[in-house]
Structure 1
Amino acid sequence: MKSFILKVGLALLVIIVALAAYYKTELKQLYHTVRLFHADVIVQNFSQMETLAPSVTIARTEPVIEWGSAPAELPETFLYEGEEVDLNQWLEESSSTALVVIKGNDLVYEDYFQGTGEFDPRISWSMAKSFLSAIFGVAVYDGLIPDLNAPVTDYVPSLIGSGYEGVSIKNVLQMSSGIHFNEDYSDFNSDINRFGRIMALGGSFDDFAGSFSSNREQGTYMHYVSIDTHVIGMVLRAATGKSIVEYFDEKLWSKLGSERDAIYVTDSRGEPMVLGGLNLISRDYARLGKLYRDFGFYNDEQVIPAQWIEDSITPDASHLMPGKRTSSSTSLGYGYQWWIPENADQEFFALGIYGQYIYINRALDVVIVKNSADIGFMDRVPDPDYLAMAAFRAIANSISDKE
């Protein structure tokens, strides 16, 4: 009997070892995914995502378009709801890893924190959504997607039978799809964390998108649903007949004179994580900010249609307008994958979880990029986005006043 048990045990051990060897990559990725946001590794992880998950690299296109130089001092403090806040203390407490400030075509301030450097490819998280919106607009104005009121299932019939059946492209662009989706990063079993485990263990983002149902009427409530952006990517692929990587490079990346390559986290089939998987150096994030600040015009070329940019940053329904409202889960305004702050004066921004921002102020000709690894982002009081807007406005005004 003991001999039999020993043989069975040895057989099971061989099977376990064999499975571990076969799934070595997936197990390693799962380990890193589970620990991605742990305090002892979050800063390092956010600068090396290509070593933790499947990825694809999109090479920069020469020549590099250099920034000018006009160094400026930042304000020591800024006001938030009548209280003075120390700028350096805010940068530290929000776990900043980079701060880049552009005025006109000049780099006026740049610093990196927590042992990170200027050439770290920093994870965008949801700032990637704004990049996808940019190239989606090119396809719209090229006539490949002529009607934003058409249902996404006209382009992606595999979504028929899901909650996306009959939902318009426009409502998906505006996070008003009505899809039931749990975006809580602190909940292990949330939809967004299940999405992350697909990335780690293998599986299809497309299949995942087709698994959701709706719980609201489309076009009536602004509820942030990251998988909506993946569906927009599916529509774009179908409309253009090209991969996201190919279209992204052709219509945007090759035109920005970037300093470093772009890196996209992908699923096991090589499909980019368009809802949050883009990795760039901070100065290259600023290039998208400059492009949008300047109405889509960059290096003597109209890269993104100016009207698409205006439509993208103009809320056009009551549930999308900035300010407290019962028809939204946020008091920020929303356009086509871009955010609009309350009391905006030609201001809008791209936003990523854990403190990623591309802030654009056209009135003052300023772009600010802040990257962070703020593990307490979701629980901070006051609201970190509103605190960041106050800081960015103070910085923009300060460097403009010194001209």
Structure 2
Amino acid sequence: MGFFHTELRQLYHTVRLFEPAVIVKNFSNMAQIFPSITITRTGPVDPFEASPQPLPSTFSYQGADHSIQQWLSASGTTALVVLKGDTITFESYYQGTDEHDSRISWSMAKSFLSALFGIAVEEGAIADLSTPVTDYVPGLKGSGYDGVSIKDVLQMSSGVYFNEDYGDFNSDINRMGRLMALGGSFDEFAATLQRWRTPGTYMAYVSIDTHVLGMVLRAATGQKITDYFEAKLWSKIQPEGDAIFLTDSTGEPMVLGGLNIKSRDYLRFGKLYRDFGRFNGEQIIPAQWIEDSITPDAPHLVPGKRDSANTHWGYGYQWWIPEHANEEFVAIGIYGQYIYINRLADVVIVKNSADTRFMENNYESMELALTAFRAIAESLANSP
């Protein structure tokens, strides 16, 4: 009876996960709702200096001035941390949260998985991105992933059909959420999906693509993802908190969106990418992998309005590239999670949110956030 009680409790919280009355609390306490695994931090903490500076009061979007404070409030912000060089210039927490909260990444976790993938490629565990994922994961033969190259999956161009509408109870993403609550395997779920388009021709955001990359990574390295994550990334960047991954009932981590860490640790990851994969003199992530990750290399991936994508933003290896980007790239999670990286300004900005209006127009939400981030970065242009 206790077993079913746990499942029913998880299902109850899954159905209510995004309700306005509980969304803020939920997003800082996901491990109390779903099964999870903790990757414990060890060693010293990478320190940040602090030199507080005010945010710009306004930013301009589509010819109108917008108040930064009103935007922060309207977009359900729970944390905003700004890094210039190695110095935090702004850090604030909202809606009753604080610096100690472990915050859900949602799809920002995809960019972390990309980092691990690049390390595996550099180490020779994955020799060729043109290799079909089914060469590593035979269990996907007969599914929509049969014969699809690793690179097409990395670039959200698998051609597999996946309904990502969080507002549709019967969507694939919500079915996956209920699978987490009631028990089941993400691996088996991926094997049920079917082909929609020719791979490598259309950029369509398919979250389960990232889980398939995780399946490939496990097969290629012969290691658990959490072990690889700890050895190759988490133990290297001197975080201040543990990393917590939500899992399915088999214990497999939700690499497509189930990472929970502190806001300043998201900042450390962004800093690592801003600094070409180097930390304290050590090359943690291959520099070439990072450049390939943020360089769209096919027409359907290049930023701008196009018929071969369902977004104006460009896409790389699990990273977003905005229109008119100038050494800028972004990790984005639903409901307003961002790691914004601007190399020219030497700036990283982390925004965590519980934005209940994000799904009403996620494109405008992303554009507003981008414009605000650019204004913040520009305001720090003359800072040392």
* 1:218 and 2:175 correspond: no
The residue number in structure 2 matching 1:10 is none
The residue number in structure 1 matching 2:308 is 327
How do 1:366-381 residues align onto structure 2 when only pairs under 5 Å count?
366-380=347-361
Q: Which letter maps to 1:168?
A: S
* 1:315 and 2:296 correspond: yes
How do 1:212-361 residues align onto structure 2 when only pairs under 5 Å count?
212-361=193-342
Q: Percent identity between the aligned chains?
A: 66
The residue number in structure 2 matching 1:109 is 90
Deviations 1:223-266 (A, max 9, x none): 00000000000000000000000000111010011001000000
The residue number in structure 1 matching 2:24 is 43
Q: Which letter maps to 2:125?
A: L
**Could you tell me how far 1:63 is from its partner in structure 2?**
0.5
Q: Which letter maps to 2:249?
A: S
Cα distance in 1 for partners of 2:11, 2:269 equals: 32
Deviations 1:153-177 (A, max 9, x none): 0000000010100000000000000
Q: Which letter maps to 2:147?
A: G
Correspondent of 1:209 among 190, 194, 202 = 190
SS in 1 for 2:218: helix
The residue number in structure 2 matching 1:395 is 376
Report if aligned partners of 2:345, 2:380 keep a CA contact under 8 Å in 1: no
Correspondent of 2:109 among 128, 142, 147 = 128
Deviations 1:377-403 (A, max 9, x none): 011487000000000000001022355
Cα distance in 2 for partners of 1:387, 1:61 equals: 37
* Alpha-carbon spacing, 1:22–1:263, altered in 2? closer, same or farther (3 Å): closer
Q: Which letter maps to 1:200?
A: A
Length, aligned pairs only: 384
**Could you tell me how far 1:22 is from its partner in structure 2?**
3.5
The residue number in structure 1 matching 2:5 is 24
* TM-score for both structures, normalised by structure 2: 0.99
Report if aligned partners of 1:61, 1:255 keep a CA contact under 8 Å in 2: no
Q: Provide the alpha-carbon RMSD of the alignment.
A: 0.9
The residue number in structure 2 matching 1:8 is none
Structure 2: runs of 5 or more not aligned = none
* 1:150 and 2:131 correspond: yes
Report if aligned partners of 1:313, 1:339 keep a CA contact under 8 Å in 2: yes
Deviates more, 1:62-71 or 1:302-311: 62-71
Divergent runs of 4+, >6 A: none
Report if aligned partners of 2:106, 2:258 keep a CA contact under 8 Å in 1: yes
* Larger Rg computed on CA atoms: 1
